[in-house]
Structure 1
């Protein structure tokens, strides 16, 4: 116990000396803060990375498998342009001419390696022993109605086209542009491609107004990520205005509002310098750091300012004494809450999503700077700024009503602690059970709300032409040239047929279809020969003849590897949620294991599959991080409160709000994504703020004034209640702004954090004081601790 007293005394003495030093050297402190901010700000740079690959760590096994598949074949970064003629008939002379023109122009897209459309589809036909491979519709302006009808008949019967390039009714078609990005700087390469495509689309629609165009693909996806980052950065301005208004309304002091604004701006500018020094490229999750820092940094300043104003109003202290007393009362709680917030955000490094590593590290640094500025710049500035008596009196006008409200709430809790505890635990238990009903779903299309053009266009494409999700298998033969083996082709054909029988499948692109089509053409287009060639030599000769007939850029490198030992099967599926996508890919893998030789066994890969597994992988890795965060924060609280029993007790109001939040989310949506996995560790660090400040005031009343538990609870409500409500309002404002993000990883995370923050305040105002009354001894403290005041 003596050791605890020494810690308590030393902490108080340190805070007092700190306050004296800051006030005495206020101008030096302010100038140093400004110089530090400018020095850090000059290092600040903001570079963005919109490539979807940034969501996956280098050790991510799904990414490794996907990259390995792309190394064998051509990369499939693409832009899909879907054309919907207003007459709902693609097959007219005017429409085919327009599609042919767009196809030709699409070859000029930067880094383009292939363009697929109905007009340039390589249609095979045979005359005697000769195989002819031609564009399905070339020189469309000269086609007669009969020729156009023939083109329509061929296209709508062609498995390689239907539900991939053309829909079954012939009313919607697509032009798919494959690009090979160098990968040196996606921040330049992707915008270069999209800039050209958007200009090309605008010119096309001006020349051919009979078409509506919708755009999707991996390059537009990367662009949507990039633009989401920029848009979310813009939320900072809105939040800044809210902070200014909220702080002024709650403190009624221009000086306090200005000082708070300066602290948060200094914190953000310094953090920008950190981003530049560390060379961090911003992504949609990490680009929200200014809004987060702006929201969280306000809390430290509010607690110091509210106590200062209260001491001036209630105790009649002058400005300097009130500042020092405020620092004495708040320095340790502010330090602890800053430390726990930093710990919470740093636990994001345990996850498997690099953008959240960046977000955690950036915000952790920003909160460190916010603590530094709020305990130096803020008191120095308040010591410098004139503080008129009249302003103090205005601040105090509502004091009585505020005090009565918080006193009334405290007496409600004091009168019924056991009943409140039982009711609270009942509700928390019920919502904790509901929280287990949430399921993961990481469809990357749903990362964007419907106001985003990429999302609305992709939804249209899914409903009217083809799916945007796929699973790919690289099916090996075990030997060079083995894809021409009839046994291999037959098994591949069986796999293709099995896939088409699956209810999720829209289209299958497999080499077995090419082999059947060539075999038919080499036998006079006789439908009886629409099957796998009977001999390996025959299949090899047909394939060679076919490849020699293909024009540049439309070869089979996207389907077969260089030594013809493996072929690529691309399965286009409906929009599936994450568990169903994972289950479908596994079914395909299992079918290959059970029905084909070992050489043909393959694993399913694709960006959608990577995202589907990302949430589960993130949850598994963050579980360790959350345990570490819980242990560290618990240890910090035990040391800070200098009471093991109350340190353990504090876990309840810190953990319960998270469980309540996810329980309420289960009633609202019942699906969580990768962005929500980080919420436990992140909010644990944030909501500790309320618990620490309430319990520190409760313990101070017990130790310094000798109050019993009931009176100590009342004292805590009166001294810190308004500050907790104020900081909660600011936190709610910040995360409410962030919840308007069009990027679901951010908006969902912010939305559930809103619920958790509200739950935290309610629990800290009802359950926490009730528990403190129940577990605390009724007798007063043996000795009163005299505050160390007035020390200039």
Structure 2
């Protein structure tokens, strides 16, 4: 009864589409206009993606830190490593460049060599005064030599901050205002002011200026993402349409397919705008994904239309049968693909939720557009010419299908042995996979800003902030000598860790104060003794300049202090080891009853976010497998059929994971997506094959072998076509400058290629080997949903076996 209703439903849909084609086209145009009007609400991400839920403990700790000390990622650094910088002309030009940024509203403060001040003891007023190293500008070489001696030999407080005493690299620090860090104003300043001034300075001075800092990296990285969107869309359109044309040899069919996927892309951008989601490194992938997924839909529909036309020559009947026969199957396959993406919605990561929602809606939208536009467009076009149907008789694809049929008939043992070898090899590879928590690993490595990151890592030990916040649980507790000593011991450990930069904190300032008290003698750059502490701190308290400097390291109440260090871009394992070492030292130095010490900062948030995301993506993949297994159970009413259908789709995932382990591609947010995307798409072939197999069983009076070979011949051509389109379509992502996107494209392409072979060789072999257990009338005679309706009673019996 359900089968009849389903068939009748699709016949009604076919009549509705073909009889109301003008109204439907107008509705599609109006919907496209509506979605186009939503483009203005699209936003480009101004922050790095927070991979953690808002209520995650790591986020709560980080937000507490920001509430006390404000935004930490507001530093942009300019650096130069060139011996000519220490000449009168070049050093003055460098300082003038720094001064030129001070008048901008977006800038909070600028520190260059010229802005450095030394603490000087004022005995008369019992305070410290600030005296600049450079009063106005450098006048002669002697001043430069004196400056170098003071900075590089006498004042360790500034070492590794604005200069590297060993390599003579100098840098300028530009602090942007904290309230513009996560707004478009940051992007405007960096691209239109900062870069233009640096370019002009380089042209005039001949110096190579290196630029880094989190605001700069985020801006340039975001710009790279935006710049690649049209490249991906154009590349996907070109590659898929070219392959489509080579298959069908029809400008007409190719043009119709391009219209469908272009409208689909317009709708996708409209959905992003309508929902108010930001374009991130993930959502930027959806438009080209829709092209790559949409073209196979076009292949199935147009291929079926041309098969029908060649069979009986009736255009109207052909279009009706395209909708009734392929419509249901295409709906099911698109639903499974959308389900694969939809499982991301169940995660607690906002980044993944938004990706899952937009991708799922876009996939269902492209299915609807294919089903409506393609049949309607063909009603207005003339009957296909003979050359448009020649591809149905291509010898190479027929030979390939014949080879597969021969393998399934005669080489099942070889197929199973090969499968077993691949499984064992894949498992070995899986155990070699590592998880990556690198913040910059996926960034474009051939860009200037990436090489600048490596430059600052080499010269100043990193640019990713790692913060340690000490809560003394009492006001003015930070300036207690016992607290300062504990902080100093912790800083000694940080200095010993090669992946971390020299820390900056109130401890450094107190040491500098003692040095100033002893008239700038560098051997007194140390914490004061208990006897010295009271009168040195009294000098410091009388100095307004010291109070200003103190505000960066201690909160207004004196209860909270921060230790800031910068971390190199290192792997997850090293980062966890560093965190563990720091935590062990903290536990020993700071008693719980007196202190509460937390480790935070963007570096740690990203580490935790990566691990959380990988965990959620694994859960998402498991959910996708379970969801699709339930879907197969609903279709075929057989647990054994579920197992048989999942094996050919899980095998390619295992092979890909093994390849990742052997070639050293780590598990990270970009690569873990491979498995959910590939599984959701590859299971479509299984559904097509099993649905056709069931139909063949019914037509052939439950003759197993004949039905398997018939299904293989019928679905093989379309599966090969779509797999080739998908392979080259996803390969477009390998042109990206982002390592993660390249890995995503290459790995999905490889996985789908293995999935095609697995569904065309392993799946039929399993059906033949297990025919007595699963291929029986009780299991397959009455499906829940008849995916491919049987041929109509009015058709010739020969037709019944000729068409999918």
Q: Tell me the TM-score normalised to structure 2 length.
A: 0.91
Aligned residue in 2 for 1:3: none
Contact 2:723–2:752 at 8 Å: present in 1 too?
yes
3-state secondary structure, aligned to 1:703: helix
Measured in 2, the distance between the counterparts of 1:349 and 1:531 equals 54
Which of 60, 65, 70 is 1:69 aligned to?
A: 65
For the 8 Å contact 1:702–1:708, the answer to whether it is kept is: yes
Q: Is 2:791 aligned against 1:787?
A: yes
2-structure distance, mates of 1:256, 1:572: 57
Partner of 2:663: 668
5 Å-filtered alignment, 1:296-311, equals 296-311=293-308
Aligned-residue offset at 1:427: 0.9
SS at match of 1:124: strand
* Aligned position for 1:375: 371
Task: Describe the superposition over 1:397-429 as per-residue Cα deviations: whole angstroms up to 9, x where unpaired.
Answer: x43553233122212112122331232133123
Q: CA deviation at 1:53?
A: 4.8
Partner SS state of residue 494, structure 1: helix
Looking at structure 2, the residues matched to 139 and 466 of structure 1 have their Cα atoms a distance apart, in angstroms, of: 31
In the alignment, what sits opposite 2:139? 142
Q: Which moved more, 1:188-197 or 1:473-482?
A: 188-197
Residue from 565, 568, 575 that aligns with 1:574: 568
In the alignment, which of 336, 347, 361 is matched to residue 357 of structure 2? 361
Distance apart, 1:524 and its partner CA:
2.8
The offset of 1:776, in angstroms, is: 1.8
1:16 paired residue number: 11
1:647 aligned partner: 642
Q: Does 1:590 align with 2:591?
A: no
- Counterpart residue number, 1:105: 100
Q: Counterpart in 1 of 2:507?
A: 512
- Superposed, which structure 2 residues align to 1:698-713 within 5 Å? 698-706=693-701, 708-713=703-708
Offset of residue 223 of structure 1: 0.8
CA shift, 1:352, in A, is: 4.7
Q: CA deviation at 1:216?
A: 0.9
Change over 3 Å in CA distance of 1:219–1:194 after alignment to 2: farther
Contact 1:520-1:527 at 8 Å conserved across structures: yes
Aligned residue in 2 for 1:634:
629
2:275 is the alignment partner of 1:278: yes
Aligned to 2:408: 413
Change over 3 Å in CA distance of 1:457–1:766 after alignment to 2 = same
Distance 1:613 1:585 in 2: 11
Aligned counterparts, 1:33-182, within 5 A: 33-45=28-40, 46-84=42-80, 86=82, 88=83, 90-126=85-121, 128=123, 131-145=128-142, 147-157=143-153, 158-182=155-179
**C-alpha separation in 1, matches of 2:462 and 2:186:** 26
C-alpha spacing 1:226/1:393, structure 2 compared with 1 (3 Å):
closer
Q: Tell me, what secondary structure is at the counterpart of 1:204?
A: helix
Residues 14 and 320, structure 2, Cα contact 8 Å, conserved in 1: yes
Whether contact under 8 Å (2:49, 2:351) holds in the other structure is no
Structure 2 distance, partners of 1:199, 1:31, is: 48
State the Cα RMSD in Å.
Answer: 2.6
SS of the equivalent of 1:483 reads: coil
Listed one character per residue, the Cα deviations across residues 52-86 of structure 1 (whole Å, up to 9, x for unaligned) are 15544422433332232232224333353433254
Unaligned runs of 5+ in 1: 1-5
Q: Give the corresponding residue for 1:335.
A: 331
Distance 1:190 1:62, change over 3 A: farther
SS in structure 1 at match of 2:518: coil
The answer on whether the counterparts of 1:120 and 1:135 sit within 8 Å (CA) in structure 2 is: yes
Shift of 1:481: 1.6
- Partners of 1:543 and 1:789 lie apart in 2 by 98
Aligned counterparts of 2:729 and 2:351: Cα–Cα separation in 1: 20
Match of 2:20 in 1: 25
Matches within 5 A, 1:453-468: 453-468=448-463
Which position in structure 1 is the counterpart of 2:263? 266
Query: Is the alpha carbon distance of 1:185 and 1:443 closer, same or farther for their aligned partners in structure 2, counting shifts above 3 Å?
Result: closer
Residue aligning to 2:798:
none
**2:554 aligned residue (543, 555, 560):** 560
Moved more, 560-569 or 268-277: 268-277
Q: Distance in 1 between matches of 2:49 and 2:130?
A: 37
- 4+ residue segments displaced more than 4 Å: 53-56, 127-130, 778-786
Q: Deviations over 1:517-550 (max 9, x none)?
A: 2112112334564332234533531332344367
Instruction: Report the secondary structure of 1:564's partner residue.
Output: coil
Cα distance in 2 between the residues matched to 1:33 and 1:303: 21
Aligned-residue offset at 1:576: 1.6
Do the aligned residues in 2 keep the contact of 1:473 with 1:603 (CA within 8 Å)? yes
User: What is the match of residue 478 of structure 1?
Assistant: 473
Q: Which residue does 1:245 correspond to in 2?
A: 242
Shift of 1:357: 2.1
> Residues 530 and 443 of structure 1: is their aligned pair in 2 closer, same or farther, counting only changes over 3 Å?
same
TM-superposed CA distance for 1:388, in Å, is: 3.4
Q: How many Å separate the matches in 1 of 2:549 and 2:511?
A: 17
Cα 1:35–1:682, aligned 2, differ >3 Å: closer, same or farther? same
- In the TM superposition, residue 251 of structure 1 has moved relative to its aligned partner by 1.6
Q: Distance in 1 between matches of 2:181 and 2:601?
A: 22
Verify the 8 A CA contact 1:77 1:219 in the aligned structure 2.
yes
1:118–1:155 contact (8 Å) kept in structure 2: no
Give, in angstroms, the shift of residue 340 of structure 1: 0.9
Matched, 1:760 2:758: no
1:223 to 1:202, Cα distance in 2 relative to 1, 3 A: same
SS at match of 1:160: helix
Q: Call closer, same or farther: CA 1:392–1:93 in 2, change over 3 Å.
A: closer
2:305 is the alignment partner of 1:288: no
Q: How does 1:173-252 map to 2 (within 5 A)?
A: 173-183=170-180, 186-209=183-206, 211-234=207-230, 235-252=232-249
C-alpha displacement of 1:350: 3.3
Q: Distance in 2 between matches of 1:487 and 1:448?
A: 43
1:33 to partner: Cα distance = 2.6
User: What is the Cα deviation at residue 584 of structure 1?
Assistant: 0.7
- Distance 1:751-1:506 versus aligned 2 partners, 3 A rule: same
The alpha-carbon deviation at position 305 of structure 1 amounts to 1.5
Check conservation: 1:478, 1:565, Cα contact below 8 A. Answer: yes
Is the contact between residue 517 and residue 530 of structure 1 (CA under 8 Å) also seen in structure 2? yes
Output one character per residue of 1:328-368: Cα deviation in whole Å (capped at 9) or x when no partner.
Answer: 33223211111111111111123454233222211111111
1:522-541 equivalences in 2 (<5 Å): 522-527=517-522, 529-535=524-530, 537-541=534-538
Q: Distance in 2 between matches of 1:484 and 1:549?
A: 13
CA distance in 2, matches of 1:621, 1:399: 45
- Equivalents in 1 of 2:729, 2:105: separation in Å? 41
2: CA distance, partners of 1:478 / 1:780: 74
Q: Could you tell me whether the CA contact under 8 Å between 1:51 and 1:225 is conserved in 2?
A: no
Q: CA deviation at 1:474?
A: 1.1
Question: Residue 80 of structure 1 contacts residue 176 of structure 1 at CA under 8 Å; is this kept in 2?
Answer: yes
Matched, 1:7 2:2: yes
Q: 1:445 to 1:135 in 2, by over 3 A?
A: farther
Contact 1:84 1:213 in 2 (8 A): yes
Q: Is the 2:567–2:603 contact (alpha carbons within 8 Å) kept by the matching residues of 1?
A: no
- Name the counterpart of 2:802: none
Q: Which moved more, 1:473-482 or 1:56-65?
A: 56-65
Corresponding residue to 1:448 among 443, 447, 462: 443
Greater mean deviation of Cα atoms: 750-759 or 362-371? 750-759
In structure 2, the partner of 1:770 is 765
* C-alpha deviation, 1:295, in angstroms: 0.8
Cα deviation, 1:665-718, whole Å, max 9, x if unaligned, reads 111224121122333333221111111112222221112233633322322232
* Residues 483 and 565, structure 1, Cα contact 8 Å, conserved in 2: yes
1:290 deviates by 0.9
C-alpha spacing 1:64/1:200, structure 2 compared with 1 (3 Å):
farther
Residues 88-97 or 224-233, more deviating: 88-97
1:645–1:671 Cα change, 3 Å: same
SS at match of 2:326: helix
Q: Distance in 1 between matches of 2:429 and 2:454?
A: 31
Inter-CA distance 522–18: structure 2 relative to 1 (3 Å threshold): same
Count of aligned pairs between the two proteins = 778
